[in-house]
Amino acid sequence: MNNFWQRAITGAVFVGAIVGLTLYSQLTFLILLMAIGAGAMFEYYRIVLHKQYSALQTLYIFAGLALIASRHWLEPQLVLQGITLLFAITAIGVLLSKHRHWKAIGYLVSGLFYIVLPLTLFYYNSFQKDGFSEYADVVFKPLLALNLFILIWCSDTFAYLCGRAFGKRKLFESVSPKKTWEGFIGGGILTMGASFALAYFFHIPFGVNVVVALLTVIFGTLGDLVESMLKREFNIKDSGTILPGHGGMLDRFDALIIALPFTTMCYYLML
C-alpha cells in the first residue's frame, strides 16, 4: 500500500473515531480525551526522557488520566494538593535514582502542563448550562467539543492548501521550513469562513465561533511550531508510529493541545 492510501485510510478511520466518540456519549468523549492524553504523554516522555525514570513516567501518565477525569470526583483544592504531592514524590524519585538529573523533574512536570491541563480544560468546558435560567442544569454539549476538533482540521488543511498554492514567504523557517505566511493567512481566512457554517449547524453564536476560529488558527499554528521545535531538538521525525502515515498522537494533536486553553476559555467567558 503506497503512502497516499495509507494516510487516507488512517485519516478516515481517525476522523470517524473522533466524531463518533465525541457525539456518542459523555463517557466515550472522556475515554477519547484520556486516550489522547495517555498516548501524547507516553510519546513526550519517551522523547525527552527515553527509558529513564520509567516508574515516574508511568506514575505521571496515570496521574494525568486521573486529572482529566477529575471533574466527576475531585474538588479543585484536592487537585492542587495532588499535584503538589506528585511533585514531592518526583523530587524524591529523581534524588534516589542513579541519574539524578534536575531537568528530569522539569520534563515530568511539563508533561502535565503541556498535555494534560489543556485536555482537562477541554473536558470541563464542554459542559454548559442547558438554558439561561439560574436553575438550568449543566449538561454535556458534544457539538461544542466537535466544533473545536473540526476547526483545528480546517486550520491545518486550509493552511496546507494555501501554502502549496501561494506560499513564498517562510513563517518560521528555522523551525518548520514548509510553513508560509501565505498559508497561515489564507488558512486563517478560510477557517473563519468555515466557522460561520459550523456556528449555524452547531447552534453556536456566530461572533463567538469567529473568535474561537481566530484563536484556533493563531495558537494551533503555535502548537505545530512548538512540537516541530521539540522534534528538531531531539532529532526525530515523528513523535510515534501509532497512526500509520500520520505519526503519533502528539503529531496529530499538537495544534489542538496548545489552542485549547484559549478556545475553551472563550467558551467559558462568552457562552
For residue 8, what is its C-alpha cell?
487516507
Q: How does pLDDT run along the chain (271 residues), one tens digit per residue?
A: 456 667 778 888 999 999 999 999 999 999 999 999 999 999 999 999 988 899 999 999 999 999 999 876 666 677 778 788 888 888 888 888 877 787 888 999 999 999 999 999 999 999 987 766 666 788 999 999 999 999 999 999 999 999 999 999 999 888 888 899 999 999 999 999 999 999 999 999 999 999 999 999 999 999 999 999 999 999 998 898 888 777 899 999 999 999 999 999 999 999 8
The backbone torsions φ and ψ at residue 178, rounded to the nearest 5 degrees and listed phi first, read -85, -15
For residue 121, what is its C-alpha cell?
480544560
Label each residue of the chain as H, E or C.
Answer: CCHHHHHHHHHHHHHHHHHHHHHHCHHHHHHHHHHHHHHHHHHHHHHHHCCCCHHHHHHHHHHHHHHHCHHHCCCHHHHHHHHHHHHHHHHHHHHHCCCCCHHHHHHHHHHHHHHHHHHHHHHHCCEEECCCCCCCCEEECHHHHHHHHHHHHHHHHHHHHHHHHHCCCEEECCCEEEEEHHHHHHHHHHHHHHHHHHHHHHCCCHHHHHHHHHHHHHHHHHHHHHHHHHHHHCCCCCCCCCECCCECHHHHHHHHHHHHHHHHHHHHHHC
Q: How far is residue 183's CA from residue 177's CA, in Å, rounded to a whole number?
A: 12
For residue 57, what is its C-alpha cell?
513516567
Q: What is the pTM of this model?
A: 0.92
Are the C-beta atoms of 119 and 37 separated by less than 8 Å? yes
Q: How far is residue 210's CA from residue 111's CA, in Å, rounded to a whole number?
A: 30
Q: List 176's β-bridge partners, or say none.
A: 172
Are the C-beta atoms of 194 and 213 separated by less than 8 Å? yes
